[in-house]
Amino acid sequence: NAGVTQTPKFQVLKTGQSMTLQCAQDMNHEYMSWYRQDPGMGLRLIHYSVGAGITDQGEVPNGYNVSRSTTEDFPLRLLSAAPSQTSVYFCASSYSSNQPQHFGDGTRLSIL
Amino acid sequence: GQQVMQIPQYQHVQEGEDFTTYCNSSTTLSNIQWYKQRPGGHPVFLIQLVKSGEVKKQKRLTFQFGEAKKNSSLHITATQTTDVGTYFCAGHGNAGNMLTFGGGTRLMVKP
């Protein structure tokens, strides 16, 4: 079983560039979410989705967009990368928000 | 909004000593989840507590959910080097669809 697959694993961007972090799950989970992890800050929710066609903002949504056209995929877009967005990004999925979350391996993103 | 705080932020223990991390929420929770993240890895689900005053055990790990459903703790008895990692609690409120993570407690074990 693949579980939750994130690509790429590492990425270096220049300030102002845009990019999309990919997330796919094969468990037929309705709930998907994106977190960023910074040292000493734990995991902060960026955006989440309770099903295809439905997305909502989390704690730190500014500078990020998401869409959910299918149950399987939940891409995260950085519109204009800033050094403050240097972080490790985790995608997670579950049957619902109050069920155990399955995390991907993460994307380590550096913005110069 | 809902805030979940975890203490301590770091803990060094000698192998064989006990360890406890505490989690406190600003609001009443419908459930609380605990995760473990090994260095360089991703968070892995450990357990979920739902009932007020609930206590669950997994081998040397004991999890408690407070009577008011606003706090929780994880206690590890006789730590081993394999327990090294960061332990996170995550709380789900009674309304909405957000799961809020605490800042985590990083456990380091000296052999």
* Residues A55, A85, A39, B62, Cα dihedral to 10°: 10
List CB contacts of B45: < 8 A, sequence separation 6 or more: A100, A101, A102, B33, B34, B35
A93 in Cβ contact with A64 (< 8 Å): no
Sign (positive or negative) of CA dihedral B9, B97, A90, A30: positive
List CB contacts of A67: < 8 A, sequence separation 6 or more: A55, A74, A75, A77
- Residue B51's CB is within 10 A of a number of other CB atoms, namely 10
> Are A42 and B104 within 8 A, CB to CB?
yes
State mean pLDDT over B5-24.
Answer: 97
> Are A101 and B33 within 8 A, CB to CB?
yes
Of B41, B92, B102, the CB nearest to A97: B92
Whether chain A has a CB inside 8 Å of the CB on B91: the answer is no
Whether chain B has a CB inside 8 Å of the CB on A104: the answer is yes
> Are B103 and A100 within 8 A, CB to CB?
no
- Distance between CA atoms of A49 and A29, rounded to whole angstroms? 10
- Distance between CA atoms of B32 and B91, rounded to whole angstroms? 5
Cβ contacts of A34 on chain B, cutoff 8 Å = none
Please give the mean pLDDT across all residues of chain B: 95
Whether chain B has a CB inside 8 Å of the CB on A59: the answer is yes
B77 in Cβ contact with B18 (< 8 Å): yes
> Are B44 and A103 within 8 A, CB to CB?
yes
Residue A1: pLDDT over 70: no
DSSP B43-108: -EEEEEE-STT-EEEETTEEEEE-TTSSEEEEEESS--GGG-EEEEEEEEESSSS-EEE---EEEE
State mean pLDDT over A95-112.
Answer: 95
β-strand pairing of A4-7 with A19-25 = antiparallel
Q: What is the pLDDT of residues B38-88, one digit of tens each?
A: 999 999 999 999 999 999 999 999 999 999 999 999 999 999 999 999 999
Q: What is the pLDDT of residues A24-72, one digit of tens each?
A: 999 999 999 999 999 877 899 999 999 999 999 999 999 999 999 999 9
